[in-house]
Chain A
Amino acid sequence: MAAGSTDARKGPGTAMVPRATPVPAPAPGVTDVLRRGARLGLGALGLAGRAAGTVFARVPDPDAAPPDTEPGIAALVPGAVLGIAIEAERRAAGVVDAVAKSSAAVARTATQPVLVQRALRPVEDRLWRWNEVARREQSRNQAQAAALIPVIVQQVTENVLAQLDFVRLVEQIPVDDIAAAIDVEAIVQRIDLGGVIRESTASITMETVDAVRTQGIAVDAWSARVVDRILLRKKPRDTAFGDDGTRG
């Protein structure tokens, strides 16, 4: 791979035909992916090791030798290995970053002339088509993955629940102690049960009576309208109880 020149970096892609951005969100660079992936992998490895250590500590091994009071050199080996891996990851990331920058510069320099651009046009078109295919396929893949995640979570949850002994768990709940801690008499004393019953009963009775009375008022008005129509009265009845007393 040849080294790139500084002139080629001034106007990258200026002679290219402008097109719409094929992918909305810019993808992370190769170096970034490698660096993050390596760190995440190492982190996950460390967490797994710690979790395994916790689990093994809970399960005593009868054949295991009694622990030493002071850790020896052998105890430093896992940490040292991890440190070597981290250092290696950093150096590898640096190398990959340099290679990626160089290759980009070379590509920009090589594609600058018009003749080269014309020659590369078919290749570029093909690359665009593939990119479009990848974009479509990727959205479908992402949709499938999104649909798969709930299924996986459901399956994992069911498997975990199947391993639990709920009867044993419930038996371990100190129901008697909890019940003994509740002062039922104090609670009952706070609640005016008689008052609640009285109010609810009175409310129900009153609503029923009101419903009957409402129907009575409606039938009163209806019967008055019928009779007034028969008597050919045009004015509605004066049922208002004014200061003129009951006369009139």
Chain B
Amino acid sequence: MKEIRNERSRAAQGQRAGFVSQAIAAALDAAVIFVLDFVVLAAFGFLHFLVSGDDYEIPQPGPWLNAVIVFAIGVALLWSAWSGSGRAPGMAVLGLRVVGRNGGRLSSGRAFWRAVLAVPTLGLGVLWVLVSKKNRSLYDVICGSAVMYDWRASVSTRS
């Protein structure tokens, strides 16, 4: 793995990530979730086109149904990412990782509840990082997790 050249960045590895990095990562994850929502709807429309024989069109569900779909996609994506590698797509770009209490992998349960909290609140719980003395978001406070800079290291086996 390539070494980190910037001395400040190298020193920041393993430290709790700040607000801007977490916010950008959350925004990227939200964008990924909405793209996946569109893909799911397009795929459903294609399936409907194959079965019914009607003209192809992307389904346009109502706001509540769409919210449920987005919620389901978001929870599935973030839950699997945080309980696995610890990196959702946006976090992978920013070099962040969600970890558990002792720096190891976040447990599946905590990852699930973190995702359940993060999706409907649109990730706004990250704003708490601004005022936290330890750069903790609301999700970290509730679920006992932490987000840290981790550009290169592989998944920790500690649990």
Residues of A with Cβ closer than 8 Å to B? 203, 206, 209-210, 212-214, 216-221, 223-224, 227, 231, 233, 235, 237-241, 243, 245-248
Contacts and interface: CB of A to CB of B under 8 A. Distances in A.
A231 B149 contact: no
B43 interface: no
Given A223-B130, A240-B15, A246-B145, A217 B9 contact: yes
B17 interface: yes
Nearest to A227: B130
Most B-side CB within 10 Å, residue of A221, A227, A239: A239
Interface string B7-25: 0110010111111110010
Given A216-B21, A247-B144, 20 more contacts: A210-B6, A210-B151, A213-B149, A214-B9, A216-B94, A217-B9, A217-B12, A219-B18, A220-B17, A220-B19, A221-B18, A223-B19, A223-B130, A224-B18, A224-B19, A227-B131, A235-B133, A239-B135, A241-B15, A241-B16
Interface residues of B, number: 37
A102 to B, nearest CB: 84
Contacts of B5: 210
Contacts of B148: 241
Contacts of B93: 209, 212
Given A218-B8, A223-B19, A246-B140, A238 B134 contact: yes
Nearest to B149: A217
B95 interface: yes
Interface string B134-147: 11100010001110
